[in-house]
């Protein structure tokens, strides 16, 4: 029953803020070819495909219609998950674990640059009766949540700014770091106020990119050319969609997702047993909130640790070495996929200048952004 499943191939395009010369299909094709080459498979060797997308961000209804061709998946079992890339990985993981399918591909992409009015589109995610008529930007929810969380946890805005400084500097070591920058805490705090206490630089900018994974059963993975990276555990959870009913000071979706994944992977003290973390930082405070939800430190300590460099490159608890969403750019529902891809790269020892020494186990965590309270966690090991 506990069939082991590995990621045997990864392909991604380099995140970029605008990509006017390629369509999403061309981007996905590019990522797919790299992933298949990485795993040494051809489309004929693949049993099923899972894609991640949402209609309104694509500007096309029933977007799953447009998923198969660029993956070589026409006339194959293909379905879409309306979720983060990590939800997609976990859906494919389950498919292989059933024993019915041996090789399953996951695809997630972002063509955020096609969205000319992002806040307007996001506004349609608000409850149409209770919230949408109020006409405020959904980003305001992040501002309110941040204020409540800072109040309850005792962290400060300066701590959040330190996250931005760290992640955008980390991105300087990543060829895909589209939003890499050398900043100071003052730069972040002095940037334009958006939804107080958020400032402009505390929210990730956007990027386009595509990411494809090949997953395989243990038996098939053994016959493939790449080094398998095993899925040791996965978890996902939705808190209430009603913003009025949430505990604004907690990320329950992250707590429960992590608890589920830790249980499967047999992890008791994550900070000690996991070597690197790629966790959602679409707003700077979210990285800190998620660190605490994932039990990486005691409540209220995430900010201090970040300021002291205890989550920086070279530390015992590296968080978002890739640069995270602040450094790579927010890749919509592909964001989690890029986090998982970084973990795979690290566990293979292929992360170049940002390589963690002797990395054995890593965790990737995604959040679907405002106004959702929906997240997913995957733990990988080599």
Partner 1 sequence: MGLRRVAVIGAGMTKFMRRAQDTAQELSFQATKMCLDQAGVKIDQVDSVVHGTAPDAFDGVHMKGEHLSGGSGGHQKPYMRGYVGGGTGVFAPIQGWYHIASGLFDTCLVVCEEKMSSCQPHPQGAFLTIFDHTTERPLGPNLLWIFALEMNRYMSTYGIDIKDIARVSVKNKKNAMGHPCAQLGENLTVEDVLASEVMAWPVHRLMVSPTSDGACAVLLAAEDVARRLCDKPVWIEGVGWNLDTSYWTNRDLAYPRYVENAAKMAYRMAGIKEPRKEINIVEPYDPFAYKELHHLEGLQFCKRGEAPRMTADGVTARDGDLPVCPSGGLLGVGNPIAAAGAMKIAELFWQLRGEAGARQVPGTPRRGLAQAWGDLMQVGTVVVMGV
Q: Does 61 bind partner 1 (CB under 8 A)?
A: yes
For residue 313, report the phi and psi dihedrals to the nearest 5 degrees: -60, 135
Cα angle, residue 176 at apex, residues 231 and 194 outer, rounded to 5°: 100
Whether the Cβ atoms of residue 355 and residue 230 lie closer than 8 Å to each other: no
CB-nearer residue toward partner 1: 124 or 154: 124
Q: Does 147 bind partner 1 (CB under 8 A)?
A: no
Whether the Cβ atoms of residue 202 and residue 359 lie closer than 8 Å to each other: no
Q: Does 1 bind partner 1 (CB under 8 A)?
A: yes
Least Cβ distance, residue 1 to partner 1 (angstroms): 4
Nearest to 7 by CA among 229, 159, 209, 161: 229
Q: Give just the sign of the alpha carbon dihedral 48, 332, 151, 136.
A: negative
Among 9, 29, 39, 80, interactor with partner 1 by CB under 8 A: 80
Number of other CB atoms surrounding residue 281 within 10 Å: 34
Nearest to 80 by CA among 90, 59, 95, 65: 65
Size of the site for partner 1 (CB under 8 A): 61
Q: Does 315 bind partner 1 (CB under 8 A)?
A: no
DSSP characters over 311-346: TSTTSSS-B-TT-HHHHH-B-GGGHHHHHHHHHHHH
Q: Does 182 bind partner 1 (CB under 8 A)?
A: no
Cα angle, residue 363 at apex, residues 258 and 167 outer, rounded to 5°: 110
Q: Does 347 bind partner 1 (CB under 8 A)?
A: no
**Element at 360 (helix H, strand E):** none
CB-nearer residue toward partner 1: 33 or 78: 78
Q: Does 22 bind partner 1 (CB under 8 A)?
A: no
Among 81, 150, 296, 337, interactor with partner 1 by CB under 8 A: 81
Q: Does 2 bind partner 1 (CB under 8 A)?
A: yes
Cα angle, residue 234 at apex, residues 228 and 235 outer, rounded to 5°: 165
Q: Does 100 bind partner 1 (CB under 8 A)?
A: yes
Among 287, 374, 378, 379, interactor with partner 1 by CB under 8 A: 374
- Residue in this structure with the two tokens 């400060």, named with its chain if needed: 156
Contacts of 365 (CB under 8 A, 6+ apart): 86, 254, 257, 258, 277, 278, 279, 280, 290, 294, 336, 339, 375, 376, 377, 378
Q: Does 290 bind partner 1 (CB under 8 A)?
A: no
Among 4, 16, 76, 148, interactor with partner 1 by CB under 8 A: 76
Q: Does 121 bind partner 1 (CB under 8 A)?
A: yes
CB-nearer residue toward partner 1: 56 or 189: 56
Least Cβ distance, residue 369 to partner 1 (angstroms): 9
Least Cβ distance, residue 359 to partner 1 (angstroms): 26
Among 14, 156, 191, 238, interactor with partner 1 by CB under 8 A: 238
Q: Does 73 bind partner 1 (CB under 8 A)?
A: yes
Q: Does 62 bind partner 1 (CB under 8 A)?
A: yes
Q: Does 140 bind partner 1 (CB under 8 A)?
A: no
Q: What is the phi-psi region of residue 320: left when phi exceeds 0, alpha when psi lies from -120 to 50, beta otherwise?
A: left
Number of other CB atoms surrounding residue 240 within 10 Å: 12
Q: Does 340 bind partner 1 (CB under 8 A)?
A: no
Contacts of 376 (CB under 8 A, 6+ apart): 83, 84, 86, 87, 90, 234, 235, 236, 237, 257, 336, 365, 366
Q: Does 69 bind partner 1 (CB under 8 A)?
A: yes
Least Cβ distance, residue 25 to partner 1 (angstroms): 9
CB-nearer residue toward partner 1: 76 or 227: 76
Least Cβ distance, residue 364 to partner 1 (angstroms): 17
Among 17, 18, 42, 124, interactor with partner 1 by CB under 8 A: 124
Least Cβ distance, residue 39 to partner 1 (angstroms): 21
Q: Does 282 bind partner 1 (CB under 8 A)?
A: no
Contact residues toward partner 1 (CB under 8 A) are 1-3, 54-57, 59-62, 64-69, 73-83, 87, 91, 93-95, 97-100, 121-125, 127-129, 234-242, 252-253, 256, 260, 368, 372, 374
């Amino acid at each position: 029953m506990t069939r082991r499943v590995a990621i045997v191939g990864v392909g991604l395009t380099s995140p970029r803020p605008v990509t006017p010369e390629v369509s999403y299909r061309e981007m996905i094709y590019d990522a797919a070819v790299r992933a298949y080459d990485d795993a040494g498979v051809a489309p004929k060797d693949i049993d099923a495909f899972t894609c991640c997308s949402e209609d309104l961000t694509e500007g096309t209804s029933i977007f799953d219609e447009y998923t198969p061709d660029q993956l070589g998946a026409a006339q194959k079992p293909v379905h879409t998950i309306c979720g983060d890339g990590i939800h997609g990985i976990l859906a494919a993981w389950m498919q292989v674990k059933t024993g019915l399918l041996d090789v399953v591909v996951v695809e997630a992409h972002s063509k955020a640059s096609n969205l000319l009015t992002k806040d307007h589109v996001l506004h349609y995610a608000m409850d149409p009766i209770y919230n949408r008529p109020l006409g405020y930007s959904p980003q305001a929810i992040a501002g309110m949540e941040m204020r409540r969380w800072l109040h309850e946890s005792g962290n400060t805005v300066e701590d959040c700014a330190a996250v931005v400084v760290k992640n955008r500097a980390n991105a300087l070591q990543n060829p895909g770091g589209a939003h890499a920058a050398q900043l100071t805490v003052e730069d972040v705090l002095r940037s334009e106020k958006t939804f107080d206490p958020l400032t402009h630089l505390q929210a990730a900018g956007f990027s386009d990119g595509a990411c494809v994974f090949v997953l395989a059963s243990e038996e098939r993975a053994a016959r493939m050319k790449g080094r398998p990276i095993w899925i040791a555990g996965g978890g996902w959870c939705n808190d209430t969609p009603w913003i009025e009913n949430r505990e604004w000071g907690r990320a329950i979706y992250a707590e429960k997702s992590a608890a589920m994944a830790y249980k499967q992977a047999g992890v008791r003290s994550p900070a000690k047993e996991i070597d690197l973390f790629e966790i959602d930082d679409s707003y700077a405070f979210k990285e800190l909130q998620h660190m605490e939800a994932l039990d990486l430190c005691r409540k209220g300590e995430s900010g201090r640790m970040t300021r002291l460099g205890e989550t920086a490159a070279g530390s015992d608890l590296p968080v978002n070495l890739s640069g995270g969403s602040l450094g790579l750019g927010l890749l919509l529902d592909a964001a989690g996929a890029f986090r998982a891809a970084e973990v795979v790269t690290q566990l293979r020892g292929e992360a170049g200048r940002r390589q963690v020494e002797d990395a054995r186990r890593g965790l990737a965590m995604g959040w679907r952004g405002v106004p959702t309270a929906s997240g997913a966690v995957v733990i990988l090991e080599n």
